[in-house]
Structure formats: C-alpha cells, structure tokens
Amino acid sequence: MNMSFGDALNQAIDQNNSLACIGLDSDHRKLPTHLKDTSQPQLEFNKAIIDATGDLVCCFKANSAFYEALGADGLEQLRLTIEYLHQKFPGIPMILDAKRADIGNTNNGYIDYGFKYLGADAITLHPYLGGEALQPFLDIKDKGMIVLCRTSNPGAAEFQDLMVDGRPVYQHVAKTVKTWNKNKNCSLVVGATYPEEMKVIRELVGGDMVFLVPGIGAQGGDLESVMNAGLAGDRGLIIHSARQVIFASSSKDFASAAREQAVQLNQEINKYRR
C-alpha cells in the first residue's frame, strides 16, 4: 500500500460506504472444526472472512495475541493474512492490535516487526512512556499510530479516570496525542462503552482525529450513542466488531454467516451517519 494509512482509510470508507472494521481475532480454539486439521487453520479462516467481507469494511484489525499464542507458526499465519488482504483488496488497510511502546531504540524493533515483517498499515500503542519514547513511531508518516485513550474494559477507570490538574488522565492523553499528531498519523482508541467520555474527547481533539472504537456487540456498547458522540461529519470513527461477526457460525457456512453479520453491522452504522 503506497498511500498513507489515513488516505487509505478514507478511500476505503468512500469505496465501501463503511465505517466498519472486522477483527480477525481468530482464536484457534474457536475455529470451525473442519479447519483445525489443515496446516494453517488461522490463515484459511482469515482468507475466507476477508473474501466474504472485504467489500463491506473500511479496514480489518488483527489482535497479535491470538497468533503469538501459537508461536512462530501463528505469526507466519498473521503475516500471510496481511499479505493476502493486500493482494485481494489492495486499498483496505490492516491494523495490528499489539499495544506496543517502549523506550525509543526498543521501539525500532517493534516497528520492524509490525510494519516491515508483518506488513501492517497501523498499530495500536500505549502512551505511558510519553512522546519522546514514541517518537520513532510518530516519525513514520505513512503508517497509522492508534494510541490507547479511553478503553472499553470495565476496569479502565482505575488509572484512566484519575484526576490530574482538574482533568481525568484519559483527557490529558487525548490532548497530548493531538500535539503529537504533526504528521497526521495519530488516532485514538476510545471504547464504545463510554460514549459520554467519547463526546468530551471529540471536543478536545476536534474533527480531524479518527477514533478506533472497540466494545460494540459482545462488550455491550450502544451504537447509536457512539455515533452521536464521536462522528466528525460522516466519518471519524472505525467501528470494530470481531466475535459477533467472525464466529457467527462454527460450521462450514461460517464465511457466509460472517457476511450476513457484516452487512447488518454496516447498515446499522450507516443509519446514524450524517
């Protein structure tokens, strides 16, 4: 993919009329039985999901944990999945959900792993070490850096809601990432389970920054509330769904069942786009 992550994302939004992101969280334990005897079951599963839904999404997201769990073989299946997506749907970006970040020189290893070896178009990062440490990521103009801000899990408040100088920490993160965004390559993770907080974050960062929104579906996030809180015009959100789509069926019809769910998700999202 020669264009930047942001340009590719906007092109895919326009091409597929979609803000939906399907998570290729291909837990080996949950794969259809008929695939488990194949030599690369995660790859075969992912290829079928990509084939069935690639015209319905603005991007895909793969959580590295489900592949790391299988060691070198799993990582190779992840690499081949991203390669396959770029061949089959050249304009659709892949987010690597790896939640990385370390001191600067260590980050170079994560950059080589995520972008050069795996071929991802964007990566999730945590902000805890600050902008100085993240600078090797922030300097890469053509990739997406999606920084954890207000996550969707129930325990998010333990640190993210701590008050510092009159604001909760997650708001400081949002404001700070805005200052990091000199190359227009930064986005934020803002969970669907906290729409009121999302509204405040949108006000803090303005309409230019995209939010990756986990938590719709299995985690209980309300889509209408999210769309009302986070939309910037008719975009600005990546609405992520994984289990609800990819594991809609555990039988040989899993790909067509995933497509049905993806169509439904996309239609539901588009009801609320202005």
CA atoms within 13 A on the CB side of 171: 14
- Determine phi and psi for 197, rounding to 5 degrees: -65, -40
Strand partners, 146: 124, 187
What amino acid positions are annotated as catalytic residues?
99
Which is it for the CA torsion 20, 26, 30, 32, positive or negative? positive
